[in-house]
Structure 1
Amino acid sequence: MIHQIYPQVSHDFQYELNKDMQIAAAHFIPHEAAGKCAQMHGHTYFVNITVAGNELDDSGFLVNFQQLKKIVHGKFDHTLMNDHKDMFNNENANDFPTTEVVARKIAEIVQAHLDTLPNRPTCVQVFVRESPTSYVVYRPKAGKQ
C-alpha cells in the first residue's frame, strides 16, 4: 500500500477521488541530451490520479476505482512505454515517454474515459513518481482536458 501525501489541487467541486497505483514499466528517452536515460531502463512508477466532480453516478460513485486501474494499470503495467505508439513516439519531444509526458498521457486517457460518463467528472491532477527522489505533477489547464 502506498502511503504518500500528494500536492493538493485547488478546485470548487464537491467530491474529490484519489486512486493510487503502481506500474512496473520500462522506457528510454530517444534524445542524445537524455544521457543515461537514453538507454532502456525500468521504474516502479507510483501514480496518483485525482478526479473531481459534483455529481455521483447511479451506483453512488464519482468514478469506479476499478475502471481507473483498468485503463491505466491495465495499459502500462509490465510494458515498454515506447511500444505504446498510440501515446508515444521518437520524433516529437512532447510525445517522448518522459515522466512529464507519461503524467499528461495518463490524464488524457483518464479524461477520455470520464467524458463517456453521464456525471462528467474531471481529472484535475496526475502525480507520477518515477524514483524515491523524483516526481512530476500534471494538472490539465481548465477547459483543456
Structure 2
Amino acid sequence: MLQQIYPQVQHDFQYELNKDMTIAAAHYIPHEDAGQCQYIHGHTYFINITIAGDELGDSGFLVNFRRVKELVHNRFDHSVLNNDKALFNDEDGNFFPSTEVIARTVYEIIQAELDSLAHKPQCVQVFVRETPTSYVVYRPKKKA
C-alpha cells in the first residue's frame, strides 16, 4: 500500500478527497539545459490529487475515486508523454512534459471534469513525485 505524507493545502471546504496513483511513463525534455533528461527515459510517478468541496453529488461522493483514476491513470500509464500532442509539445517550455507541467496538466484534466459537476468540487492540489528525492506540488491560484 502506498502511504506518503503530502504537503497540506489550506482551504475552507468541508470535504477533502485524496486519490493516490502510480503511473509508469517515459518522457524527455527537449532543451539543452535538461542534460541527460533530453534523452528518452522513464519514471514511476507517484501522483496525489486533492479535491475539496462543500457539497456531495447525488451519489453521495464528492467525486468518484474510480473516475479520478480513469481520467489520469488510463491516459498516462505506460505511455511516452511526449507523444500526447494534445497536451505536450517540443516547442514551448510551458508544454514540455516536465514534472511541473505534468502536475499542472493533471490539475487541468481533473478540474475540467469537476467543472461539469453540479456541486462544483475544486481540485486544490496535485502532487507529483518523479523520483524518491524529487517532487512538484501544483496549486491553482485562488479565483478572484
What TM-score bracket applies, with the shorter chain setting the length?
A: over 0.9
The Cα of 1:37 is off from its aligned counterpart by 0.3
Counterpart position of 1:128: 128
The Cα of 1:24 is off from its aligned counterpart by 0.3
What is the TM-score of this pair, normalised by structure 2? Answer: 0.99
Counterpart position of 2:50: 50
Partner of 2:61: helix, strand, or coil?
coil
Structure 1 residue runs of 4+, over 3 Å off?
none
Report the number of matched residues. Answer: 144
Question: In angstroms, what is the RMSD of aligned CA positions?
Answer: 0.8
Counterpart position of 2:6: 6
Unaligned runs of 5+ in 2: none
Q: Structure 1, residues 90-109: CA drift from partner, whole Å, max 9, x if none?
A: 11100000000000000000
Counterpart position of 1:94: 94
The Cα of 1:143 is off from its aligned counterpart by 1.9
Q: Structure 1, residues 44-76: CA drift from partner, whole Å, max 9, x if none?
A: 000000000000001110000000000000000
The Cα of 1:142 is off from its aligned counterpart by 1.0
What is the TM-score of this pair, normalised by structure 1? Answer: 0.98
Unaligned runs of 5+ in 1: none
Supply the AA of the counterpart residue of 1:61. Answer: F
Counterpart position of 2:108: 108
Partner of 2:60: helix, strand, or coil?
coil
Rounded to whole Å, the distance in 1 between the matches of 2:41 and 2:123 is 29
